[in-house]
């Protein structure tokens, strides 16, 4: 039956002919274990794609939920920590073996005629690998992700002529926020994979069409073919891939993937450091301060990329023997030592230096107005039994645990478990279980963080009607479309100043039928809300002008 199915498919798709052309390739003398790195790189790309698809199923690309979703995968999901560890360490392995593959190609002179285009697409793939790393480390939305991206985007902004435009396109505006995260997520999971698949297909096609370069053989020398891709080289590739996968699995299980605390845009004391494969570029830009910054951020890296990309077109030495290529090998060694030295310097440099200066440009002032999430959290604090166990500076609660003395490092995951089973924190007390939603837990954490700011007293004296209205505003997710003090645009109008433009009747009626006043509005009708809630939301608009 199996043979019948194969024969049926072969009649229509010519599978045997295709597999023979793909696998039954004669290999020149000298091809062996040093040629496994291309297959390892291809395997790592497939592994990154597979683990990335798994992670994307549980990821929410919004600042409010990104860190939480990654924490869920890391701490709760079955095999989630292992899969994320594979993806995290896989990116480093991917860079390492792509570099080794390029180095082996350089040493064997496999970039020379007639394989110039194969080399060009190899260099393009190497830069795509780095682009994956660059777009990927923002996604966890932790401190390292946020601040390293701040530095990266500020570096992009130093590009001549189009720097500001490029920076704003990547950011999605003037500040890093939800649009930035969406842009990076789309680049990481859609745009870059599609480009990479195309580049890989062309690279493999060119390699198969031109064959493997005979090691150290000049074009006019006789070449002996003493093995075939199947089974000789494919066996070596398989053994190497298995070994690398086992080592990578060991890294994933022993070290996992790091996840720092939730990104805090106000914490400018944080010193960002990128992944190790970007340390050389970050260290380089620190060597050129002030007006010379452009040299380290743009000019030298661009020259380096172009030097690699155009190598076959200016290295006209036809010989592939090492003894005839002393200048090229010397320049390669100098380049490797320079990049390696900068990487070591970057890893050892714990001072903020230039990085802090760049980070300070993104510092945002804390909003003086209390935000709906903080007010909603205050409402929940006093209406969801929190006050039975907690107090705030000896007041605002009957419990013995002072929130002002509580560590702020508790993750959303911990809080979710805490609210689901609060008796774990105080086994001696029969504490009522609170069935809080994720958005409510985030509001409570926002409220808690605001307690450590000068706005604490104002937050604790807000009237009940404002707290009630803020809780409605948060519950109906009005903030998903409407911003207040955030300079980043939302889907709907900014609510600050809305009462200066419209009277109360207009605002109330607008809730009932938005399209009556703005035919193209995407806002749904809220005519199903009780009058009490409609009046509360309308009154809440006036709070923004206080």
- For the chain, how many helices (H) and strands (E)? 26, 4
* Banded pLDDT at 425 (limits 50, 70, 90): low
**184 in Cβ contact with 153 (< 8 Å):** no
442 — pLDDT class (breaks 50, 70, 90): confident
Buried b / exposed e over 426-458, threshold 16 CB at 10 Å, is eeeeebeebebeebbbbbbbbbbbbbeeebeee
Spatial contact of 90 and 47, defined as CB atoms under 8 Å apart: yes
Prediction pTM value: 0.67
Question: How many angstroms separate the first and last alpha carbons of the chain?
Answer: 79
List the one residue out of 126, 118, 133 whose CA is nearest residue 201: 118
More confident residue, 429 or 27: 27
Least confident of 360-369, 508-517, 519-528: 360-369
Q: How many CB atoms lie within 10 A of CB 16?
A: 12
% pLDDT > 90, the chain: 34
The least confident of 81-85, 120-124, 224-228, 517-521 is 517-521
Q: What is the pLDDT of residue 387?
A: 85
Contact 228, 24 (CB under 8 A): yes
- At 87-98, the pLDDT tens digits run 999 999 999 999
| Cα 80 from Cα 58, distance rounded (Å) | 10
Pairing of strands 401-402, 390-391: parallel
Given a contact cutoff of 8 angstroms between Cβ atoms, the answer to whether 282 and 352 are in contact is no
What CA–CA distance (Å, rounded) separates 459 from 64?
21
Contact residues for 421 (Cβ-Cβ < 8 A; gap 6+): 433
| Mean of the per-residue pLDDT values of the chain | 84
Residue pLDDT, tens place only, 52-64? 999 999 998 888 7
**379-383 long-range CB contacts below 8 Å, 24 or more apart?**
379/467, 379/468, 379/470, 379/471, 380/436, 380/440, 380/443, 380/444, 380/447, 380/471, 381/444, 381/447, 382/467
Distance in angstroms (rounded) separating the CA atoms of residues 479 and 544: 13
* Distance in angstroms (rounded) separating the CA atoms of residues 522 and 526: 12
- Residue 66, pLDDT > 80, answer yes
Q: Using 50, 70 and 90 to split pLDDT, how confident is the model at 107? A: very high
Listed as own residue / partner, the contacts of 169-178 with beta carbons closer than 8 Å and 24 or more positions apart are 172/488, 173/487, 173/488, 173/489, 174/487, 174/488, 175/362, 175/364, 175/486, 175/487, 175/488, 176/146, 176/149, 176/150, 176/265, 176/362, 177/63, 177/486, 177/488, 178/62, 178/63, 178/488
pLDDT, tens digit, 9 for 90 and up, residues 142-155: 888 888 888 888 88
pLDDT at 246: 97
Residue 269 backbone class (left: φ over 0; alpha: ψ -120 to 50; beta: rest) = alpha
pLDDT of residue 370: 85
The dihedral sign for the CA sequence 5, 11, 12, 16: positive
């Amino acid at each position: 039956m199996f043979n019948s199915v194969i024969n049926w498919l072969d009649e229509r798709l010519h599978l045997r002919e295709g597999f023979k052309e793909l696998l039954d390739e004669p290999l020149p003398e000298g091809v062996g274990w040093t040629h496994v790195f291309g297959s390892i790189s291809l395997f790592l790309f497939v592994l990154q794609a597979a683990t990335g698809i798994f992670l994307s199923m549980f990821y929410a690309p919004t600042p409010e939920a990104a860190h939480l979703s990654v924490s869920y995968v890391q701490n709760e999901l079955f095999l989630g920590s292992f899969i994320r560890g594979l993806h995290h360490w896989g990116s480093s392995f991917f860079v390492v073996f792509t570099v080794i593959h390029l180095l082996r190609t350089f040493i064997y002179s496999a970039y020379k005629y007639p394989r110039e285009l194969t080399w060009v697409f190899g260099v393009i793939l190497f830069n795509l690998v780095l682009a994956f790393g660059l777009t990927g480390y923002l996604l966890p939305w932790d401190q390292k992700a946020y601040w390293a991206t701040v530095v990266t985007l500020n570096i992009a902004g130093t590009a001549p002529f189009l720097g500001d435009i490029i920076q704003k396109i990547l950011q999605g505006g003037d500040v890093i926020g939800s649009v930035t995260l969406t842009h990076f997520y789309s680049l990481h999971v859609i745009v870059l994979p599609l480009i990479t698949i195309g580049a890989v297909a062309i690279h493999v096609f060119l390699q198969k069409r031109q064959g493997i370069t005979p090691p150290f053989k000049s074009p006019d020398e006789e070449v002996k073919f003493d093995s075939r891709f199947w089974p000789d080289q494919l066996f070596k590739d398989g053994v190497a891939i298995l070994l690398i996968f086992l080592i990578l699995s060991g890294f994933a299980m022993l070290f996992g993937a790091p996840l720092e605390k939730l990104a805090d845009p106000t914490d400018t004391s944080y010193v960002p450091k990128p992944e190790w494969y970007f340390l050389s570029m970050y260290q380089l830009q620190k060597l050129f301060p002030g007006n010379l910054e452009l040299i380290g951020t743009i000019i030298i890296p661009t020259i380096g990329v172009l030097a690699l990309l155009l190598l076959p077109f200016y290295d006209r030495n036809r010989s592939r023997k090492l003894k005839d290529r002393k200048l090229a090998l010397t320049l390669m060694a100098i380049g490797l030592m320079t990049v390696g030295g900068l990487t070591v310097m970057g890893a050892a440099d714990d001072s903020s230096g230039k990085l802090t200066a760049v980070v300070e440009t993104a510092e945002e002032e804390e909003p003086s107005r209390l935000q709906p999430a903080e007010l909603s959290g205050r409402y929940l604090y006093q209406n969801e039994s929190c006050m039975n166990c907690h107090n705030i500076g000896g007041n605002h609660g009957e419990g013995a645990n002072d929130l002002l003395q509580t560590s702020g490092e508790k993750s959303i995951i911990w809080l979710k478990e805490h609210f689901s089973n609060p008796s774990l924190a105080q086994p001696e007390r029969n504490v009522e279980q609170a069935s809080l939603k994720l958005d409510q837990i985030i509001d409570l954490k926002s409220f808690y963080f605001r307690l450590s700011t000068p706005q604490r007293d104002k937050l604790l004296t807000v009237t009940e009607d404002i707290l009630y209205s803020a809780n409605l505003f948060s519950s109906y997710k009005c903030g998903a479309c409407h911003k207040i003090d955030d300079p980043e645009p939302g889907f709907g109008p900014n609510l600050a100043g809305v009462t200066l433009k419209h009277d109360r009747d207009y605002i109330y009626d607008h809730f009932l039928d938005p399209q009556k006043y703005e035919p193209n509005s995407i806002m749904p009708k809220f005519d199903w809300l009780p009058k009490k809630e409609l009046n509360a939301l309308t009154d809440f608009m006036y709070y923004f002008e206080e």
